[in-house]
Amino acid sequence: MSARTIGRIVGALFLLAYVVYLAGGALADAGSASTVVLSHVASHQLQISAGALLMLANSAAVIGIGVLLFPILKRHHEISAYGYLSAQVVQGVMLAVGIAFLLLRIPLAQEYAGAHGASVLPALARLAQEGNHYSFWIGMLSVGVGGLLLCRVLLRERLVPAFMAVYGLAGYAIFLAGALLEILGHNVGVALSIPGGLFEIAFGALLIAKGFPAAQSRDYEGLARNVPPAMTAPSNAPAS
């Protein structure tokens, strides 16, 4: 595939990842803040399971983004390419772990109904909810780190307009700070994730429209410029 085609697929995956995770989260968490969490879960098992499947599609999408961007980024900066791919894989895995915690509420709700309100089960459900929370924000730490690596290459190689890459660097730095604060117990992660989220939406839309430019990396061009004259045959050299 050409760089332009890869870019358009990546752009579509960025937007798809947002849609499926937000839709899945809305289904899986609907009503979970009520005082009788397990009672709600028991009566909405299908809805929660469908939401979890949509959220798992997000994990597949973010890992796919890392895999598709790897050859593009490696052409320009190998360490950043490996770092971004690793961050995307960690993000996808941690989000999947969080979804597993979310789904644990279903068997707990079934046991709760059969045991006529065993007191320990709501506590286990809250524990599963906390597991989902921390898994999500650990995954978001990876988003912040990977995003900084990505935007560094985008800015250095002029793969997107400079103002967008600079905004992305700022947005992901704020995103990373928000994830750290959320893990430390300060409920500011969602608000601080907005700038990075807006960058990803704009970046995805730009890639769908234009893809990546098909150009050589700066490192390769620099090597080509520094080739000694003796290594290149003059155009009027006689044939041997």
Place of tokens 């895995």: 93
Residue range 97-126, pLDDT digits in tens: 999 998 988 888 888 776 665 578 888 888
Of 13-17, 80-84, 163-167, 210-214, the poorest mean pLDDT is in 210-214
Q: What beta strand segments (E) does the chain contain?
A: none
Band of pLDDT at residue 1, cut at 50, 70 and 90: confident
Name, in order, each residue with C-beta under 8 angstroms of 54's C-beta and a sequence gap of 6 or more: 20, 21, 23, 24, 27
DSSP labels for 10-71? HHHHHHHHHHHHHHHHHHHHTTTTSS-HHHHHHH-HHHHHHHHHHHHHHHHHHHHHHHHHHH
Task: Tell me what percent of the residues of the chain surpass a pLDDT of 70.
Answer: 84
For residue 150, the model assigns a pLDDT of: 97
Q: pTM score, two decimals?
A: 0.83
Position 235 pLDDT exceeds 70: no
Place of tokens 């997000």: 58
Q: What single-letter amino acid sits at 170?
A: A
Residue range 180-200, pLDDT digits in tens: 999 999 999 999 999 999 999
CA neighbor of 143 nearest in space, from 27, 11, 14: 14
